[in-house]
Amino acid sequence: MSAYEPDGRTMRERMLAGDPYLADDPELVAGVVRAQRLQEAYNATGVDDLERRRALLVELLGSVGDDVAIRPPFYVDYGTQITVGSRVFANYGLVALDVAAITIGDDTQIGPNVQLLTPTHPVDPGPRRDKWEGGRPVTIGSNVWLGGGVVVCPGVTIGDDTVVGAGSVVTRDLPAGVVAVGNPARVVRRVDDPA
């Protein structure tokens, strides 16, 4: 059986399992509409409206730790597959497309216009034309710093204490405690290396 054939599961079940799914499924569309309404309200909050902002974030996301600050605008696909640890700060323009799980560890700092991307699409033109999609999780460790404009691709894990330079495109896992830069991002040194 092809991965693109019906197998008795709903498209949402397939998506959550990381298997190919059709994003125009009514249940999935309803989830996107819910997220768009919540993020629209979140993005309209004022600088003095921190209590409402927190309440909307808790409703939108799967899990939110203490003392989290995500500056609007903030964009998601569903929101429900995003877990944010405590004391996380994300600057303006975070895009977190969560067709698969996105996990952000405690004390992580995220620069402006960062993209955390879990969606994948078939390379084969037939299934892509038929609107099949997939997803692979993104995991950001604790005390990570993602510079402005960083793009984290599907399936990537970034280890604790790692720094990713502005404008980098992370296509592969990065270990803990390193500095990585470039497109594709490559490790240039350890964070504890004084040089």
pTM of the model: 0.96
Burial of 79 (0-12, 13-18, 19+ CB in 10 A): buried
Q: Tally the domains of the chain.
A: 1
Catalytic residues: 121
Q: Helix, strand, coil % (nearest 5) of the chain? A: 20, 30, 50
- Assign 1 a pLDDT band (cuts: 50, 70, 90): low
Q: pLDDT tens digits for 8-43?
A: 999 999 999 999 999 999 999 999 999 999 999 999
In a domain, residue 42? The reply is: yes
Please tell me the predicted confidence (pLDDT) of residue 5: 83
* CATH code of the domain containing 70: 2.160.10.10
Of 4-13, 24-33, 98-107, 156-165, where does mean pLDDT reach its minimum? 4-13
In a domain, residue 27? The reply is: yes
Interatomic CA distance for residues 78 and 93, integer angstroms = 16
Q: Which of 112, 113, 104, 39 is nearest to 78 (CA)?
A: 39
Q: CA 42 from chain center: how many Å?
A: 17
In a domain, residue 1? The reply is: no
Q: Please say whether the beta carbons of 117 and 154 come within 8 A.
A: yes
128-137 burial, b at 16+ Cβ within 10 Å, e below that, comes to: eeeebbbbbb
**pLDDT at position 6 over 90:** no
In a domain, residue 41? The reply is: yes
Range of the domain at 63: 11-190
In a domain, residue 4? The reply is: no
